[in-house]
Amino acid sequence: MQVRRAKIVCTIGPACDDQSTLEQLIRAGMDVARLNFSHGTHEDHARNFATIRAAAEVCNKPVAILQDLCGPKIRAGKFPGGTRDLVTDTIVALTEVTRDSPEAAPGEVPILYEGLAQDLQTGDVILLDDGRITFTVTKIEGDKVSAAVTQGGPIRDRVGVSLPARRVRIATLTEKDKADLSFGLSLGVDYVALSFVRNADDVRLAREITEAWGRPTPIVSKIETPTAIDNLESIILASDAVMVARGDLGVEFNPERVPIIQREILGLARIHQRPVIVATEMLQSMVTATRPTRAEASDVATAVFDGTDAVMLSQETATGNHPALVARMMARIVTEAEQSSFYRPLSSEQQGQRANIAEAVARNACDIARDIGARVIVAFTESGVSARYASKARPVVPIMAFSPNAVTRRRLALIWGIVPLPIDALRSADEMVDHASAYLVAHGFCSPGDKFVAIYGAPVGVIGTTNAIRVRVVE
CA distance 356 to 133: 52
Q: How far apart are the first and last CA of the chain?
A: 18
Do residues 453 and 364 make contact, with C-beta atoms less than 8 angstroms apart? no
CA distance 168 to 74: 10
CA distance 183 to 189: 9
Give DSSP secondary structure letters for 85-152. EEPTT-EEEEEE--TTPPPPPTTEEEE--TTTTTT--TT-EEEETTTTEEEEEEEEETTEEEEEEEE-
The reply to whether 222 belongs to the active site is yes
The reply to whether 84 belongs to the active site is no
Task: Tell me the three state secondary structure of residue 216.
Answer: coil
Write down the catalytic residue from 21, 217, 227, 280: 280
Q: Where are the beta strands (DSSP E) in 142-185?
A: 144-151, 153-156, 160-162
Question: Exposed, middle or buried by CB within 10 Å (0-12, 13-18, 19+), for 128?
Answer: buried
Write down the catalytic residue from 4, 5, 7, 34: 34
Do residues 66 and 190 make contact, with C-beta atoms less than 8 angstroms apart? yes
Query: Which residues lie closer than 8 Å to 170 by C-beta, 6 or more apart?
Result: 72, 74, 113
Write down the catalytic residue from 7, 61, 73, 222: 222
CA distance 197 to 213: 21
Question: Is beta strand 191-194 parallel, antiparallel or unpaired with respect to 276-279?
Answer: unpaired
Query: Torsions phi, psi of 16, nearest 5?
Result: -145, 25
Write down the catalytic residue from 27, 53, 75, 215: 75
Question: Is beta strand 276-279 parallel, antiparallel or unpaired with respect to 241-245?
Answer: parallel
CA distance 311 to 270: 16
The reply to whether 75 belongs to the active site is yes
Q: What is the edge-to-edge ordering of all strands in the sheet holding 74-75?
A: 74-75, 160-162, 125-128, 133-141, 144-151, 91-96, 108-111
Q: Which residues are catalytic?
A: 34, 75, 222, 280
